[in-house]
Amino acid sequence: MASEETRRLLRHPEAPKRATLLELLLDVVYVAALALLSMRLAEAVTWTAAAEILVLLMGIWWVWSITALLTDFYNPDEPKIQIIVGWAMLGSIVLTASIPQAFSALGWLFAGMYVAIHLVRGIVLVAVLRRHQAQARAARFLCWFTLSGTFWMAGAFLPASTRLVLWGIALVIDYVGAALRYPTPWLGRVPLAQYDKASEHLGERYQQFVILALGDIILVPLLLSGRTGLNAERMGILLLAFATLLLLWQIYVYRAGALLQAAIAEGPGRATRWAPYTHLLMVAGVVSTATGFELLVSETRNAAGLDLVAVVVGGPTLFLIGRTVFEYELFGTFAWSRLGWLVVLVGTAPAFLSLVPVAVAGFTGAVLLGVAMSDAVRSSGLRRPRRRSGES
């Protein structure tokens, strides 16, 4: 039988829903991580570079996502849980510092720390949750991260192309394992009832991360402008970046963002299981958008070119796709107007290849304004989100 000390490790249903200061401090590390990812992509916008950035982003995002789930299921005010969060923070700092050389000299450091974050967390939880039913949950996570860890470490010492493949396999194991609820021999899957224990705290954590991520759109362009000097052209680009940031924020908080906590309160299982995947698309979109504005500020071009159009248009496209899927899964409604704007955005992108770069960002901003206005029109007829039928 579990002791009272062990039971205190689990979050009480009546516990405060607000994020702790330690959780907010953890998020600060990811501001730097996203900025480094966008800066690394801006160095060379190629398919290979995009694939490498996606793998690094998915790894970093999974550390944050699992940590957010940890502090929602367990009591973040307990010292043992705080130590685990502190370990995740330290590990995230190392991951962030190794981003620029993750596919060269420091692959072992990125992979080693990623694996260590998950394995140490799992080992500690299995040890402290003795004789409690939650121990099986921690053991399932530990088994799956041990499996994916073999691919992470194997890839760390191989050439970059092979490393990309093996790390991709490792991420498939991590993400698919979570989607399948971590089926484990002799332990089975994580019961659906445990996902239903998610609280509004988890919704708040995702909202906080998206808000911080959006800041990346203006952060690096501001730093570059301060270093290279501010002129009328760069000021115009900064204002356009700021407008894009605000529009993406408005699109996010409409229903799926502002009501995410309420949705988790009504149907926590579905929201908990879909949020990591759809928010990954949105965060990837933010990184791509930030890359586009970094290129606009740092380079002088007569024509936009394929690389610039790809990141400037591709970023909002990913964001809108993730945002639309999330809304459908949470509320059972599909934003057809947003799909129409996506067709306009992607369909007209080739026409901007030979135009001045700022025209691409301006047109993308106009499309985002159209999406925000369409959402506002739709909101007048939607007082409260409908829950999807079926699985909670």
Distance, CA of 102 to CA of 104 (rounded, Å): 6
Residue carrying the six token digits 């959402």: 375
Q: Mind listing the pLDDT tens digit for each residue in 214-227?
A: 999 999 899 888 88
Cα 195 to Cα 20, 74, 107, 111, distances in angstroms: 21, 13, 34, 28
Higher pLDDT, 208 or 152: 152
Quick one: pLDDT at residue 172? 98
**Could you please report the per-residue DSSP string of 264-308?**
HHH-HHHHHHHHHHHHHHHHHHHHHHHHHHHHHHH---SS-HHHH
pLDDT band at 387 (very low <50, low <70, confident <90, very high): very low
Model pTM score: 0.92
Alpha-carbon distances of 50 from 16, 247, 282, rounded to whole Å: 40, 25, 16
Of 9, 13, 5, residue with least CA distance to 81: 9
Question: What is residue 4's predicted lDDT score, i.e. its pLDDT?
Answer: 67
**Structure-token match 């591709």, residue found:** 314
Task: Check if the beta carbon of residue 19 is closer than 8 Å to that of residue 149.
Answer: no
Q: Each residue of 218-275: pLDDT tens digit?
A: 998 998 888 878 888 889 999 999 999 999 999 987 655 555 665 666 666 677 778 8
> What mean pLDDT do residues 295-320 have?
91
Phi, psi at 343, each rounded to 5°: -60, -40
